[in-house]
Amino acid sequence: MPRLLIVEDEPALRRALTINLKARHYEVEAVGTGGAALRTAASSPPDLVIVDLGLPDLDGVDVIAGLRGWSRVPIIVLSARDSQAQKVRALDAGADDYVTKPFGMDELVARVRAALRRADVPDLASGAVVMTAAFTLDLAAKRATRDGAEVRLTPTEWHLVEALLRHPGTLVSGAQLLAEVWGPGYEKETNYLRVYFAQLRRKLEDEPSNPRHFITEPGLGYRFEP
């Protein structure tokens, strides 16, 4: 189930969006301020963000810019009618699409579907089980096994595994992993990644010094090979 983050300060609209999108089988987290949006996105990265441009604390455009500092998550903007300049600023800041208020729920859902398709969000349900020749990861139960024996992963290790599994086979930059797992401001702490990947390989790989699943691309980032 793709996870959507909704940033909308009007309680009635926030509730309506939440109910309608959940009814269409999206996992929804809804917040009312830009600050909460940035915190939530960092601690639990969504697959798509819907952001109202008129927020009480930050400008919606600042929220977009904040997200774009570390994330390529698709962003759909909700904007008031007659605010052409605002839409342009939002798109310049990195928004992917916009919907003008008032909008029909079907239109918004169609745009959500299209944005997720374009972003090629892997259908990695939170209940997914990832199996390799060496180990099995049950993401829902947070259970890892290797050769039939249970392996304990720390919460940070799970978070790192999940961040990488969201992009199977693709290169994920160290900065992106650091921001997703440790939060904005940690993009340069590459030593964290060296330490944590060494631990993960020791726990899960058959040959930790010659990893087949948790791959480092020197100077570029990391890749998960199923």
Closest to Ca ion by CB, 33 vs 173, is: 33
Shortest separation between residue 10's beta carbon and Ca ion, angstroms: 5
Closest to Ca ion by CB, 9 vs 62, is: 9
Q: Are 70 and 187 in contact (CB under 8 A)?
A: yes
Closest to Ca ion by CB, 108 vs 177, is: 108
* Rounded Cα gap, residues 14 and 77, in angstroms: 14
Q: Which residue is nearest to Ca ion (CB)?
A: 54
* Rounded Cα gap, residues 30 and 38, in angstroms: 12
* Rounded Cα gap, residues 101 and 52, in angstroms: 10
Shortest separation between residue 203's beta carbon and Ca ion, angstroms: 46
Closest to Ca ion by CB, 75 vs 181, is: 75
Six token digits for residue 49: 């963000």
Shortest separation between residue 107's beta carbon and Ca ion, angstroms: 18
* Rounded Cα gap, residues 223 and 90, in angstroms: 31
DSSP element (H, E) containing 67: helix 60-68
Closest to Ca ion by CB, 87 vs 166, is: 87
CA distance readout (Å), 199 to 128, 130, 169, 190? 23, 19, 20, 15
Six token digits for residue 80: 């008031």
Number of H helices, E strands in the chain: 8, 12
Shortest separation between residue 28's beta carbon and Ca ion, angstroms: 18
Residues making contact with Ca ion (CB under 5 A): 9, 52, 54
Shortest separation between residue 17's beta carbon and Ca ion, angstroms: 12
